[in-house]
């Protein structure tokens, strides 16, 4: 067999580092459980949710989702007071990535078990926001906001930066697929088309405002993530790409400038290049040829 080339070794090294950071120490076992275990799945291989959630554009969509979600003061208070995102951001990422993977690709029974664990955690996440209002993570209204912010962010990131972007029927199908997961989590009547998703986000606009907690989270997410120096520039590209996908009203609240020329000329091409690089690194290398 032909020995791996330098490029293949580099690719494997980078891909392994990304996978271990995102999936955590249990990542390999969980990947086998999710993808290789026999059993019924919620979504067949041709469903849009599999195309979107299996694409590297999710790195950009995830950052956008967190920024957008932070603009609901009660949702942000729950994160600030009950999440360990500052002390253990990678643990939070790993739990989120496992949840998305198992509900999208895993067996139905494993997806339901993951849903049950999240719902049990939500029952204990209660408190009072800085403005004096009570919050509960199990509140269907807050669950709906978190759900639609994620669905909108993942879909927009894939449409802009993903491979094989979906057509209108596919985008509606993605929202419908996400509705299945949302309903299991306790979201009442989640949107099932892209148009319904947009209308529901618009209805939340009056409730959204930036708080000190949201600004702190944005600063942490965009400017001071716990990364080694070598990873800061690639992450900066992902973060800038995520910001470029935010609606103008969200940017204004978070005090993130809109620079149309810079985003068109620099950010968008750099985002495409970075997503392609991650896709290259995390995809399986070609099989070695017999000599």
Contacts of 25 (CB under 8 A, 6+ apart): none
Tens-digit pLDDT profile for residues 40-82: 999 999 999 999 999 999 999 999 999 999 999 999 999 999 9
Tens-digit pLDDT profile for residues 144-190: 999 999 999 999 999 999 999 999 999 999 999 999 999 999 999 99
Q: What is the average pLDDT across 108-135?
A: 97
Question: Which of the pair, 251 or 87, is modelled with greater confidence?
Answer: 251
10 Å Cβ neighbour count for 44? 7
In a domain, 19, yes or no: no
Tens-digit pLDDT profile for residues 202-261: 999 999 999 999 999 999 999 988 888 888 999 999 999 999 999 999 999 999 988 888
- Specify the pLDDT at position 225: 86
Look at strands 134-136 and 126-128 and give their pairing.
Answer: antiparallel
DSSP notation for 87-148 = T-HHHHHHHHHHHHHHHHHSBHHHHHHHHHHHHHHHTT-EEE-TTS-EEETT-HHHHHHHHH
Question: Is pLDDT at 21 greater than 80 in this prediction?
Answer: no
Question: Is pLDDT at 286 greater than 60 in this prediction?
Answer: no
- Specify the pLDDT at position 9: 79
Name the domain count of the chain: 1
In a domain, 11, yes or no: no
- Specify the pLDDT at position 123: 95
- Specify the pLDDT at position 284: 58
Question: Is pLDDT at 6 greater than 80 in this prediction?
Answer: no
10 Å Cβ neighbour count for 58? 23
Q: Is the pTM of this model over 0.85?
A: yes
Question: Is pLDDT at 285 greater than 70 in this prediction?
Answer: no
- Specify the pLDDT at position 230: 84
In a domain, 105, yes or no: yes
Q: Which domain holds residue 53?
A: 41-282
If pLDDT is split at 50, 70 and 90, which confidence band does 283 have? confident
- Specify the pLDDT at position 76: 97
- Specify the pLDDT at position 2: 59
In a domain, 22, yes or no: no
If pLDDT is split at 50, 70 and 90, which confidence band does 288 have? very low
- Specify the pLDDT at position 137: 96
In a domain, 193, yes or no: yes
In a domain, 21, yes or no: no
Residue 3 CA to chain centroid, in angstroms?
36
Question: Is pLDDT at 10 greater than 80 in this prediction?
Answer: no
DSSP code of residue 255: T
In a domain, 92, yes or no: yes
In a domain, 252, yes or no: yes
């Amino acid at each position: 067999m032909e020995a791996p080339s330098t490029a293949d070794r580099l690719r494997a090294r980078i891909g392994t580092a990304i996978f271990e950071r995102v999936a955590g120490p249990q990542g390999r076992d969980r990947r086998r459980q999710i993808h290789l275990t026999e059993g019924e799945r919620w979504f067949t291989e041709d469903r849009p949710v599999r195309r979107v959630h299996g694409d590297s554009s999710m790195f950009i969509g995830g950052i956008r989702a967190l920024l957008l979600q932070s603009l609901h003061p009660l949702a942000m208070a729950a994160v600030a007071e009950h999440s360990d995102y500052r002390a253990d951001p990678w643990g939070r990422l790993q739990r989120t990535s496992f949840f998305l993977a198992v509900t999208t690709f895993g067996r139905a029974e494993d997806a339901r078990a993951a849903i049950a664990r999240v719902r049990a955690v939500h029952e204990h996440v209660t408190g009072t926001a800085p403005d004096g209002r009570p919050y509960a993570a199990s509140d269907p209204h807050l669950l709906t906001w978190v759900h639609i912010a994620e669905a909108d962010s993942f879909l927009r990131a894939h449409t802009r930066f993903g491979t094989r972007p979906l057509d209108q029927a596919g985008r509606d199908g993605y929202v419908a697929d996400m509705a299945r997961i949302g309903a299991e989590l306790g979201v009442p009547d989640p949107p099932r088309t892209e148009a319904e998703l947009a209308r529901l986000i618009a209805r939340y606009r009056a409730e959204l405002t930036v708080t000190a907690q949201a600004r702190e989270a944005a600063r942490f997410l965009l400017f001071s993530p716990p990364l080694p120096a070598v990873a800061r520039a690639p992450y900066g590209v992902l973060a800038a790409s995520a910001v470029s996908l935010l609606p103008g009203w969200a940017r204004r609240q978070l005090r993130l400038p809109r620079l149309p020329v810079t985003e068109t000329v620099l950010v968008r091409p750099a985002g495409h290049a970075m997503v392609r690089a991650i896709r290259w690194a995390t995809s399986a290398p070609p099989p070695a040829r017999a000599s």
